[in-house]
Amino acid sequence: MLLLTIYFIFTLSIFTNANEYDTLASKRSSSYHFVKPTIVSSTLPPIISDFTSHPASIRVLLQIEDREDLLLNLNLNEDLLNEHFKFFFQATDEYQLTRHTDRIIHCYYHGYVENNLQHSKIALSTCNGFRGSILLHGEYYYLEPILNTHIIYKHDNRLPKRVKTCGTVHLDPFPLIPGNFTQSFTHVKRQAISRFVELYLIMDLTLHQLLGSNFIHSLNYLVHVANEMDLMYKSLSIRIALVGATVWSSTNQISVEDDLSITLDNFLDYIPTLQSQASVIFDNAQFVTGKTHPSTVVGFAPLSTMCLDNSGGVSRDLDLRELDIAATISHEMGHNFGLYHDDVGSRPCYLCPGNECTRIMNKVGIDVIPTEFSQCSIDELDAALDSGIGNCIFNEVPMLVTDPVCGNRFVEPGEECDCGSSIECPTVDPCCQPGLCLLKNGAQCTAGECCDAGCQLSPSDRLCREKRNECDIPEYCTGSTGSCPPDLYHTDGTLCTTAGSSSYCFKGTCNTHRGQCYSLFGTAGVDVGVDVCYSELNNKGDKYGNCGIRHNLDGISTYIACTASNVKCGKIQCSTPADPELQTTGSAELTIVTLNFLGGAQVECIGVNIDVDVDFTDPGLVIQGAKCGPGKICVDQMCVDLYTVSDQVLCPINDLGVPCSGKGTCSNTSVCLCDTGFTGSSCNQLASAMSTHKFSTPLIFILLSFLILFL
């Protein structure tokens, strides 16, 4: 390898007023050190001083004033930008221009401090100087350019210091009771396989102006934020792939209010419009505003909506520092995954080791940037994925094409595997040869659910991802790759049953009112409340019956009364013969109403009330996807026709017009999964014994799935 030594000479003497550096630096940190970054080696031609070249792999020596030098090992984060990435900015109030990936400079790196591989993480950009975060032994340091030099400082010393809180309020998480609407099982661990969130970021006009109204600066800022988020989510084997970004440079396309909960409402309503206008498929959208407010609340997001139409959140950027806002957005996205606050209620994660909590899902942050997800968050993510939340993150994401570099832990054209350095390989991928990026002699595959401990491919009939619930579809190894096929599920509208109640599959889950009552109160004697509980109470608009809470700027919250058509989608109403006992702890209040009728008949209606400022994800409201009528389901406390919120799926049909010829199951990707003994795109051909697939669905089940929508 050709070793190159290039020196960037940064001296104070080129300025007539040397104090100019200290003046600028003191606004960013109460204690800082000047740094001279030096590129000591590269696998490509050297980076010149104006940072116009960004090699796939570099080593940077940080010579820090009055401190020990640090040697950084950096690799271009090639999973960050999607090959279809689009950047939108407004040229006028009405017109937007687009920049595609051929206009985007990829200058975003991940890495580690050499000799501290296990105790360091780095997210840096080299777009215009070195800028980004260095996590070393549990403490964040921030490196940034100032004029024509650099400074580094501990993040704890940054200025200004603020108290920041998340506005999302919730109960303690509910336990997953086997057989309920969030069914649990022991699944194959997927830590060896990365899961991708295709992310879309939007910056409002205020933040764009605070960043100098410079399009390139604003774009780099958003991509850098995504790079920091990607580093935070790596520990969960989740990668952040930025597929699009928009800067509102002329007019905000939604009303940005002081109350972030209202801004969240407005943004979630805007997401379908964004999906249509941008012509980009994304799993999650996050909105960032620079609008300040005396409130400490810096973020809001709904719970458990990842991959749904309301998969997103809003965040307030107070510091104009990528690491800070990345931590906030990562927190809000955690709520989309179904993660709860660590420091609320009687949770085991309430007490943190040491004097400071550095968990990403903490509700309150005081001068501390979180460094990791807690074990509570890890367990909640596993439970959420098992219940069907976030199915879309298992899809493969096309990445930008760059020159392959062996040793950067990205499998690129011409490589069979890439396990990183010789130090990393034994733990990252024992099937791969370090330095060659080829499989070891005799190895058939690399890490994955379909690659065994001996580096051999699993047979094609081996189950690699279990069926999570009645609406999920099991996946089997193909026999040709070590990875499990993409996660598939039944089409929306397929008839299903949970806790003895019929419903429709929606986004891979089968949710029912009875299943939700089981989750709230346990299974012994519990049942869903009779229809009269919904019709008599949920139209009142009080704590005993409602369709959610409206939050006002003056701090007053009011209950929303359900319309007659939406009463089955408002407050969940249950019944139990014994004294009801919630299967959770926290600030929950039981609501019990006894309805009296002529002749002495009585009906008891039991629900859960949260007497605090809450968002739309109150677990006391009917869950998304529950059946509220023939061909109708609950979405955001409204009873809507299933076809209006379902993905358009058209599987191949036979000559009689029957999907999958009645010999298979139509998946959410419009692909037929044929029953045992059949093959072909529409399952209309007999298969040999060697090609049969372990999947069987009776014909009557297929027919009922389509007829039920019209009953």
- List residues forming the annotated binding site: 331, 335, 341
In angstroms, the CA 607 to CA 272 distance is 32
Of the candidates 616, 596, 533, which has an alpha carbon nearest to the alpha carbon of residue 567? 533
Q: For the chain, what is the radius of gyration of the CA atoms?
A: 27
Peptide bond before residue 486 is cis, with ω within 30 degrees of 0: no
Helix ranges restricted to H, 531-611: 531-537
φ, ψ of residue 493 in degrees (nearest 5): 100, -10
Of the candidates 359, 418, 514, 459, which has an alpha carbon nearest to the alpha carbon of residue 78? 418
Helix ranges restricted to H, 164-214: 205-210
Of the candidates 454, 432, 449, 456, which has an alpha carbon nearest to the alpha carbon of residue 483? 449
Length of the chain: 711
Give me the residue label for tokens 């609340």.
297
Locate 310 and state its tokens: 């309301």
Q: Are 577 and 263 in contact (CB under 8 A)?
A: no
In angstroms, the CA 108 to CA 78 distance is 8
Residue type, 633: I
Give me the catalytic one of 332, 449, 475, 536. Answer: 332
The 3-state DSSP composition of the chain as helix, strand, coil percent (nearest 5) reads 20, 30, 50
Residues 6+ apart with CB under 8 A from 144: 28, 129, 130, 131, 132, 150, 151
**For the stretch 537-566, what's the b/e string if a residue is b when 16 or more beta carbons lie within 10 angstroms of its beta carbon?**
bbbbbebbbbbbbebeeeeeeebebbeeeb
In angstroms, the CA 21 to CA 497 distance is 67
In angstroms, the CA 368 to CA 371 distance is 9
| Dihedral angle, C-alpha 618, 318, 29, 162, nearest 10 ° | -50
Per the annotation, binding residues for Zn(2+) are: 331, 335, 341
Distances (CA, A) of 534 to 181, 546, 566: 20, 9, 9
Compute the Cα dihedral for 246, 247, 252, 254 and give only its sign.
positive
Question: Facing residues of 241 across strands?
Answer: 198
Q: DSSP class of residue 159? A: S
φ, ψ of residue 178 in degrees (nearest 5): -50, 135
Look at residue 43 and give its three-state secondary structure: coil
Helix ranges restricted to H, 337-421: 375-386
Residues 6+ apart with CB under 8 A from 644: none
Compute the Cα dihedral for 582, 585, 591, 594 and give only its sign.
positive
Of the candidates 433, 205, 192, which has an alpha carbon nearest to the alpha carbon of residue 317? 205
φ, ψ of residue 690 in degrees (nearest 5): -75, -20
332 is catalytic: yes
> HEC string of 241-272?
EEEEEEECCCCCCCCCCCCHHHHHHHHHHHHH
Residues known to be catalytic: 332
